[in-house]
Amino acid sequence: MANQFKEYLQKYGIKPSTIRIKILDYFYHHRTHPTAEEIYQALLAELPTLSRASIYNTLDLFLSRGLLKTLPTEDRETHYDMNLDFHGHFECEKCGKIYDFSPPAFEHSPQELQGFVIHSKEMYYRGICAPCLHKKP
């Protein structure tokens, strides 16, 4: 798998390094829309010399090369998403978990946007997730 990650990074013009490969591996195995701090905490035991600056620098590099996108969450921390396919997000206001969902297809621009150039489409819902609704107080 490490060789696939190296090739993937090289495809985007990124020199593979241990930290970059580990962060890419984390995203591959954890589709949780993590924050930089969550990634740092998850990798610290495996990479004891890891710094937060290395995490932020790598995430910034991945963003600039189009490997990741950020999510417009309500909290102060940036959440990252490696899934670049068009999909929606639901953020639970109780537990903070972010769920992916498949939105209805948008084959055409809305009539109000005819003549506009659209570079990206986002769909973001907020509310309370089913698991939180069914938790006993």
CATH value at residue 104: 3.30.1490.190
Task: Enumerate residue ranges in the chain where pLDDT < 70.
Answer: 105-109
Contact predicate 66/84, CB 8 Å: yes
Q: Is residue 116 part of a domain?
A: yes
What is the Rg, in whole angstroms, of the alpha carbon atoms belonging to the chain? 17
Q: Is residue 77 part of a domain?
A: no
Where do we find the tokens 């995203």? 27
Residue 51 sits in a domain of what CATH number? 1.10.10.10
User: Do residues 57 and 93 both lie within one domain?
Assistant: no
pLDDT digits (tens, 9 = 90+) for 55-87: 999 999 999 999 999 987 777 889 999 998 888
pLDDT of residue 106: 61
Q: Which domain holds residue 29?
A: 2-70
Q: Is residue 80 part of a domain?
A: no
Q: Is residue 78 part of a domain?
A: no
Pick the closest to residue 37 from 15, 61, 17, 53 (CA basis). Answer: 53
**Residue 95 to residue 133: CA distance in whole angstroms:** 11
User: Do residues 8 and 44 both lie within one domain?
Assistant: yes
**pTM for the complete prediction?**
0.82
pLDDT of residue 58: 97
